[in-house]
Chains A and B, each alone.
Chain A
Amino acid sequence: KAGVTQTPRYLIKTRGQQVTLSCSPISGHRSVSWYQQTPGQGLQFLFEYFSETQRNKGNFPGRFSGRQFSNSRSEMNVSTLELGDSALYLCASSQQGYTGELFFGEGSRLTVL
């Protein structure tokens, strides 16, 4: 069974640009969560989608948004990039319900210059 796939793995953007990151969950998994990992703030929850609906949202500004498609694939978008958005963005999928048994992808490393 293929794991969680995130694309792109690495990308460099400049301030003010926007970026879209993609996540393909494990087949059969309906929940997709996104986390931001930085050296200063650690791992912080961004949002979770389940069956195309946002189920939970973390404490991030509205520049951060996401969506989930009918095939459970998810995208997150960050608009008007700031230097502080440089981070590893991790996607995690879960089979069902609320268990916290998350399967993480390898992440998309975003550098904002």
Chain B
Amino acid sequence: GEDVEQSLFLSVREGDSSVINCTYTDSSSTYLYWYKQEPGAGLQLLTYIFSNMDMKQDQRLTVLLNKKDKHLSLRIADTQTGDSAIYFCAESNDNAGNMLTFGGGTRLMVKP
């Protein structure tokens, strides 16, 4: 079945850039998402990218997609302590619709 993999942990200093990586196996993935989960809260959609795009930028967030390598990354510029959270990569395809396959999440810790 489909699989989405992420590294478990990332630590950066405030003001630095953070890059969170994700790989997926489903070649029919149509949509790829980044969600954020803060302690005790549900998930919040940060951004998403269609599989026919290479890059998407939204303020401090940049998403890069390498479809050939099935690799997705999220770059957070000027990382702040408020960005500390768990970040989930997820994918779906035209057949799955709102049935998303999530990665295990990357815990981002931002040190002052």
Q: Is the CB of B98 within 8 A of A48?
A: yes
Point out the residues of chain B lying under 8 angstroms from A33, CB to CB. 98-99
Residue of B nearest to A57 (CB): B99
Q: Is the CB of B96 within 8 A of A56?
A: yes
A90 to B101: give the CA distance in the assembly, Å. Answer: 14
Size class of the contact patch on chain B: 20 to 34
Shortest beta-carbon distance, B96 to chain A, in Å? 7
Q: Which of B42, B94, B97, B102 contacts A56, CB < 8 Å? A: B97
Q: Mark B6-41, 1 if CB is under 8 A from A, else 0.
A: 000000000000000000000000010101000011
Shortest beta-carbon distance, A105 to chain B, in Å? 5
| Chain A contact residues: helix, strand, loop or mixed | strand
Interface residues of B (CB under 8 A from A): 31, 33, 35, 40-45, 48, 88, 90, 92, 94, 96-105
In the complex, besides A56-B96, A104-B42, 19 extra interface pairs with C-beta distance below 8 angstroms are: A4-B42, A33-B99, A35-B102, A42-B104, A44-B102, A48-B97, A48-B98, A55-B98, A56-B98, A56-B99, A58-B99, A92-B42, A92-B43, A100-B90, A101-B45, A101-B48, A104-B35, A104-B43, A106-B40
